[in-house]
Amino acid sequence: MKKLIMGMAAIALLFTSCEKDQPENQNDLALQEVDMSDFYVHTDFNDEDGKAAQNGKNCYSMKNLNRLLKEDDKLYRKMYDIEKNTRSILAKQANTAKGKPGSGGGGTTPPPTDNLGIITIPVVVTVVYSNSQENISQAQIDSQMAVLNADFRAQNADASNTPSEFASLIADSEVQFTLAGVRRYSNSTSQWGTNDAVKSQYPPVTPETTLNIWVCNIGGGILGYAQFPGGPAATDGVVVGPNYFGTTGYVSAPFDKGRTMTHEVGHYLNLRHIWGDGRCKQDDFVADTPSSDGPNYGCPSYPTVNCRSTDMTMNYMDYTNDACMTMFSNGQKSRLRTVFASGGPRAAMAP
Catalytic residues: 264
Q: How far is CA 1 from the centre of its chain?
A: 66
Question: Cα(7)–Cα(5) distance, rounded to whole angstroms?
Answer: 5
Would you state the torsion angle of the CA atoms of residues 20, 21, 23, 28, taken in this order, to the nearest 10 degrees? 120
- State CA 222 to chain mean position distance: 19
H/E stretch holding 182 reads strand 175-186
Q: What is the DSSP secondary-structure string of 198-252?
A: HHHHSPPSSTTT-EEEEE----TT--EEE--TTS-GGG-SEEE-GGGSSSSSS--
CA distance 297 to 191: 25
| Angle subtended at Cα 265 by Cα 259 and Cα 266, rounded to the nearest 5 degrees | 90
**Residue 176: in which H helix or E strand, if any?**
strand 175-186
